[in-house]
Structure 1
Amino acid sequence: MRDYSDPEAERRLRAVAHTQGFANWLGFDIVAVGNGRAELSLDVRPDLLQHHGFVHGGIIATLADVASAWCAASVAGDVVTSSFNMHYVAPAKGQRLIVRASVIKAGRRQASVEAKVWIDTAGEERLCGASMASIAILGAAVEAA
């Protein structure tokens, strides 16, 4: 558990994640969520690779997007991504993706969030992507149906 972890935010977001088919298929792990930060990880598997053997950019972007929204949700309630920009800085070839996102600034209607995606290869992390997102704040936290 990370020092910023918020058990209530994690419980709520885990419940919401189980209602999302794509998130369930992807199979990422929630390492910690709370207080404007989130860390997720995903074991690399063959169906996530592109033709050069690297993790597909869409998977990297999805992980960054989810972590960005969740870290914003931990301080702002119900949210959706309104703008997202991904930069790939190195091929992602390794065993596990790790994304760490943090809120830069949260206002009444929008939060600005940065995320960095790392590829873990034999215990060594290497930066493979970075993103900036604008997250629209919709209101109170939503419980899963």
Structure 2
Amino acid sequence: MDAPNPDYANAVTAAVLALPAAAHLGFTFGSLGPGSVGLDLEVRPEHTQHDGHVAGSVLGALADYAGGSAAGTLLPAGWTNLTTDYTVKIVAPARGERLVARGRVVHAGRSTTVAAVDVHVVSGAAEVLCATALVTMRNLKVG
């Protein structure tokens, strides 16, 4: 996939990391390419439920941001995107030190973009799929 904005990496990381929710949760970018992203989260106690598993709401937020970020890499300069829908399926408990969400664009249109995201939980050297998601973004010209 080709990125219409040659400065997509700076545009996406600046936009996402400036969002209060992303900063509060502690998201960081592990990888970023045209149509794909790796978004990481070091698990902290406030991300977990009483039993130590990462809360579903945190998994959903991570998947949403990863899908939106992947979609954002394919936007022209001067455009942004907003989530219109996302569906998360939790397939295994998320208990570990870190989460890695890998998002990829499956359809990039002028008005909407759809991304698929797989979220893995990492414990030591082991990495296990814990959630998968589809994220739909509405593409908007700014200004």
CA deviation profile, 1:61-105 (whole Å, cap 9, x unmatched): 101000100110100241111111000000000110000000001
Partner of 1:124: 126
Distance in 2 (alpha carbons) for counterparts of 1:130 and 1:99: 9
The residue identity in structure 2 corresponding to 1:33 is L
Gaps of 5+ in 2: none
Q: How many residues align?
A: 137
What's the offset of the Cα at 1:34?
A: 2.4
Distance in 1 (alpha carbons) for counterparts of 2:35 and 2:83: 15
TM value normalised by structure 1: 0.87
Partner of 1:92: 94
Is this contact kept in 2: 1:10–1:32, CA < 8 A?
Answer: no
Distance in 1 (alpha carbons) for counterparts of 2:6 and 2:139: 21
What secondary structure sits across from 2:23 in the alignment?
helix
Distance in 2 (alpha carbons) for counterparts of 1:94 and 1:8: 34
What's the offset of the Cα at 1:7?
A: 7.9
After superposition, residues 1-145 of structure 1 pair within 5 angstroms as 8-76=7-75, 77-139=79-141
Distance in 2 (alpha carbons) for counterparts of 1:10 and 1:50: 33
What's the offset of the Cα at 1:13?
A: 2.1
Distance in 2 (alpha carbons) for counterparts of 1:100 and 1:46: 23
How much is the aligned-residue C-alpha RMSD, in angstroms? 1.9
The residue identity in structure 2 corresponding to 1:73 is G
Q: Which runs of 4+ in 1 moved over 6 A?
A: none
Is this contact kept in 1: 2:16–2:69, CA < 8 A?
Answer: no
Distance in 2 (alpha carbons) for counterparts of 1:125 and 1:69: 23
The residue identity in structure 2 corresponding to 1:65 is D
TM value normalised by structure 2: 0.88
Is this contact kept in 2: 1:34–1:75, CA < 8 A?
Answer: no
What secondary structure sits across from 1:75 in the alignment?
coil
Gaps of 5+ in 1: 1-5
Is this contact kept in 2: 1:29–1:41, CA < 8 A?
Answer: yes
Is this contact kept in 2: 1:9–1:33, CA < 8 A?
Answer: no
CA deviation profile, 1:11-62 (whole Å, cap 9, x unmatched): 1122223431111111111112221101111111111101221001111110
What secondary structure sits across from 1:25 in the alignment?
helix
